[in-house]
Structure 1
Amino acid sequence: MLDISNVPSFTELSEFASTSAGGKVIFASDDFFATCENMIADSEPIFIAEKYTEFGKWMDGWETRRKRIPGHDWCILKLATKCVVRGLLVDTAFFTGNYAPKYSIQAACLTPEEEALLPERDTQMGSACTECDLERLKQLRSDKWEEIVPVTALRPGYDDTRMNYQKVVSDEAFTHIRVNIYPDGGIARLRVFGEAKPEAPPCDQLVDLASLLTGATCVGHSNAHYGHPKNVIKPRKGETMADGWETARQLDRPEILESSDDGTLKTTGEEWAVYKLGFNGRIQKICVDTEHFKGNYPDSIKIEGTLLDQEEWTHSKPITWYNILKPSKLSAHNEHWFTCNSDVISHIKVTIAPDGGFSRLRAFGHIEPTII
């Protein structure tokens, strides 16, 4: 059975390497058994015993061939946005006799000019990089990038050993990471947790202040039984219910439900999540997307805001919230758009009643230039 008792606190932060967050594989030295893109897939890794390809056993991760030339395998990932990395998860699930024995992580903040030096990625199982690609990459000197995880042993992909967590202590912000495996082998999934540090957009530009790409982060919640509320601020559309926020059912919900005058249900319970916005600003448009939530969407949602001077939010400290979006009915598998005109705020509190889940939250507005 998978052991989740020692999951570190940094996993509560936003994640920047996965596909749904906007992470991207830029380069891989070898993709023979399984392409590197699998390593940043959003789904949980699976194992299909009878599945083979023309190159060998099909594996749900990144797996290189057994190396018969000098060197070791490595790849470069572009993170979803410039961020400070606080921790990583290297999951070796199902790689029991073919996992990479050791790994290390290097990182850099590339300029657009440096990024242009990266070769075009050709994702193809059974392939390896070309000498031309390697020559082009030498200009980036990626082997000299800052080492944020030293050479570290990995464990095999059994339930009790597959989750390899690593804290990172660097406070620098990076756009790209280099993942080294020594000398070859496989990794099922890689997750990179941290804090976004994007450049401030123009004040006249309408931006999603609640997106992880602009630096928003979930700082507290009441319930995340089936899906964490940090999922709803990812930039891409959710692919399944697992990629949204979903709570357990409220145990004290009424035995017989009744409607209020405004059409929402009379409920005794609710669930909430608090988000620190990427930049202080004024929200004008809100989108609540219940895509994939067809029998378990919330009856209603309300959104409140506040402007806090301090950087940290704690649930124990009394906070005065004011209304941005009054309790509003939701429906199944649908985008819901609302207009509003908030004051300058730094945090929002999203409350759903009585329970359930939704896929994505968007809060478009303009940043406040005097208090960025």
Structure 2
Amino acid sequence: MQFNSLPISGFESVLAATTTEVTSVATGAEILDVSDDFFSPATDLLKVEPSVSMKGQFGPNGALFSGWESRRHNPDHDWVIIKLGPPSAFLKGFDIDTSFFSGNEAPAASVEGIYSPDAVPTNQSTWTPLIPKVPLGPHSRHLFTIPQTTEPYTHLRLRQYPDGGIARFRGYGIVSPIWGKQHSWDGDKPGQVDLAHAFNGGRCVYESDKHYGVGANLLLPGRGKDMGDGWETKRSRSAGHHDFVIIRLGAPGQIQRVDIDTLHYKGNFPAGVELHAINSPLEIPSLNVEEGWTQILSRTKVGPHEHHFHDIKVAEETVFTHVRMTIIPDGGVKRLRVYGTRAAPKPSESSSSTPATVAVPTTTPSSSSSVPTIAASPLTSSGFAPFGQVVQAFPDQSLAPRDIKVTSANGSTASKYHRLSIPRSTYPANSGAIQAFSCFRSEPPKGFGKLGGDSWLFESKMWERHPFTTQTFLPLGKDENGGLERGGEGMLVVVALNGKNDKPDVSTAKAFIASASQAITYDVGVWHHSVLSFVPTDFACLESQISTDGDRTEDCEIIQAKEGDVFVKVQVGETK
């Protein structure tokens, strides 16, 4: 078998930038069986964090170490069987790390693999040698590369001779994606996959800075466990600074939606984020954003500890191979999801540095396939900011928008979030408009779907706006004495900005899922669909009106689609 030792200096360029770590617990890798781990558990081998010294600490069985350590006097060897995190991978290299094991390190080790997607392999299974028995030294990393395997593997067996300790074991390779509805990952929808997901073959090929967390973390499954498993850069100290990562997609494709997740980043999230994409045969395209990159998301403000969903509007036939995320000026992002459809790249195509736009109707609905489809996202203050405000409390005060003042109230039994939404009325002084609360008892529209489970489409066939007033909807709880027997379960919010022709600009349309603990305020003149509750719900409504008869366009202007026409389609479903 062919293999080579790799100096530590070559790790970044040879393995880190070209492969995915497929044995990390962060990807779901796990220990299936072990011959002996008397002193230290084999599960330590797969930990994300480096091994640490535990000198002077003792447990029931002896001195403690961060790693796998078997008992002494084994006549031949010890072994451990590891299930890879991704479904399978083409392997390219390994890191056998004996950090802090000195005098009790494993003197030698070997690595073998097996492809067994439907059965759990055992020590008696037929294993394929990948790295022969090689010597190991104390307190050091041992890097090895092999020619990329021509067949994928699902499991690895690490053997140490005859016994001792290994701190960490890391296997690197190219993930072999399993495309199809039966294998969907975080947030995937029917016909739409996360092209950047690690399990779909996405890889981080470049990061400008990784002081507190590597770029590859952006592509991991799930949302992680703390601030340590995202991508975070050091604080910048110069004007105009920015950091960026480049992601090679698992397959060339058309990008339709992104999710920029800042979970756990509460005081260190970026001030802004922008995205570019390119179609390039290079592993790492030009680092100069002016050379061939297409802007797919202009600079956008993000908030702390939340999802930020954005629909991407580029020409439908445009195919990309890489995405570049720029954060301004620095900070941390937990995950980047790039949803779209796979497409075979056309060798003759080249990217333009000028963003391509899709033609979207701004005034006239259509019954054709050109009707835009937007995905409903969880309602957040930052996402809804172009259209109005969100009124809510927060489980952690640090999650409130920075411009919101929070004080103690009611004898320190409450926290008050000040001025989340300020009602406005721009009616002429002599109009007779009155600001007042009213109550809406809302029923779901006929055929309206439910939250959770399979996704479904809602066809929006109307718009309304209030030209002279804000309008706030506050869901009310359940009450058997005059109220509803069950509380609300939130509502679907569909909004659009006004266009140049004083009609809804459908290219700006967004959809949000508001929870039962969130109230919303539509800004003056913002186009929106009427209330869309998922279950019968009572809403308190604060607005200004001239008339209570619903006959004044100054109070509410409504546009209805013609029979058979649709303004916009909204994809609704469980959002992870």
Q: Percent identity, aligned pairs only? A: 32
Partner of 1:51: 57
Higher RCO, 1 or 2 (CA under 8 Å, sep at least 6)?
1
1:278-357 to 2 correspondence within 5 Å? 278-308=250-280, 310=281, 312-315=283-286, 319-342=291-314, 343-357=318-332
| Residues 370 and 43 (structure 1), Cα distance of their counterparts in 2 relative to 1, 3 Å cut | closer
Task: Please identify the structure whose Cα radius of gyration is greater.
Answer: 2
Partners of 2:31 and 2:83 within 8 A in 1: yes
CA displacement 1:306-342 (0-9 Å, x = unmatched) = 223x253332687422232221111222222223345
Alpha-carbon offset, residue 55 of structure 1: 1.8
Unaligned runs of 5+ residues in structure 1 are 119-135, 254-267
Unaligned runs of 5+ residues in structure 2 are 1-6, 182-188, 347-576
Selected match of 1:98 from 89, 94, 104: 104
Partner of 1:276: 248
2:44 aligned with 1:31: no
Partner of 2:205: 219
Alpha-carbon offset, residue 364 of structure 1: 2.1
Partners of 1:297 and 1:357 within 8 A in 2: yes
CA displacement 1:8-59 (0-9 Å, x = unmatched) = 5213332110100221112211121111111101122122334322222222
1:260-271 to 2 correspondence within 5 Å? 268-271=240-243
1:9-88 to 2 correspondence within 5 Å? 9=13, 10-12=15-17, 13-68=19-74, 70-81=75-86, 82-88=88-94
Alpha-carbon offset, residue 4 of structure 1: 6.0
Alpha-carbon offset, residue 229 of structure 1: 1.1
> Which is helix-richer, 1 or 2?
1
Amino acid at match of 2:147: V
Amino acid at match of 2:179: A
| Residues 20 and 326 (structure 1), Cα distance of their counterparts in 2 relative to 1, 3 Å cut | same
CA displacement 1:221-264 (0-9 Å, x = unmatched) = 322233221221111323343322222333322xxxxxxxxxxx
CA displacement 1:79-116 (0-9 Å, x = unmatched) = 1222222221111111111111100111122231xx2x
Selected match of 1:362 from 303, 326, 337: 337
Partner of 2:432: none
Partner of 1:258: none
1:167-316 to 2 correspondence within 5 Å? 167-172=145-150, 173-201=152-180, 204-253=190-239, 268-308=240-280, 310=281, 312-315=283-286
| Residues 149 and 292 (structure 1), Cα distance of their counterparts in 2 relative to 1, 3 Å cut | same
Partners of 2:319 and 2:345 within 8 A in 1: no
Alpha-carbon offset, residue 269 of structure 1: 2.5
Partners of 2:45 and 2:169 within 8 A in 1: yes
Alpha-carbon offset, residue 361 of structure 1: 1.2
1:117-132 to 2 correspondence within 5 Å? 117-118=120-121
Alpha-carbon offset, residue 61 of structure 1: 0.8
Partners of 2:116 and 2:155 within 8 A in 1: yes
TM-score normalised over the length of structure 1: 0.80
CA displacement 1:208-229 (0-9 Å, x = unmatched) = 2111110011122322233221
CA displacement 1:151-171 (0-9 Å, x = unmatched) = 1111111xxxx1111112243
Partners of 1:22 and 1:236 within 8 A in 2: no
1:140-155 to 2 correspondence within 5 Å? 140-141=125-126, 145-155=127-137
Alpha-carbon offset, residue 277 of structure 1: 0.6
Partner of 1:166: 144
Cα separation, 2, equivalents of 1:44 and 1:198: 28
CA RMSD between the two structures: 2.4
Secondary structure at the aligned position of 1:294 is classed as: coil
Alpha-carbon offset, residue 66 of structure 1: 1.3
Partners of 1:148 and 1:169 within 8 A in 2: no
Secondary structure at the aligned position of 2:99 is classed as: coil
Cα separation, 2, equivalents of 1:48 and 1:186: 14
Secondary structure at the aligned position of 2:216 is classed as: helix
CA displacement 1:179-224 (0-9 Å, x = unmatched) = 0111111111111122212233359533221111100111223222
Cα separation, 2, equivalents of 1:329 and 1:316: 23
Secondary structure at the aligned position of 2:199 is classed as: helix
Cα separation, 1, equivalents of 2:42 and 2:51: 13
Cα separation, 1, equivalents of 2:95 and 2:227: 22
TM-score normalised over the length of structure 2: 0.53
Alpha-carbon offset, residue 146 of structure 1: 2.1
Secondary structure at the aligned position of 2:72 is classed as: coil
CA displacement 1:268-326 (0-9 Å, x = unmatched) = 22222111111222233322222232222111111122223x25333268742223222
Partners of 1:221 and 1:272 within 8 A in 2: yes
Partners of 1:220 and 1:315 within 8 A in 2: no
Partner of 1:130: none
Partners of 2:8 and 2:143 within 8 A in 1: no
Partners of 1:16 and 1:80 within 8 A in 2: yes
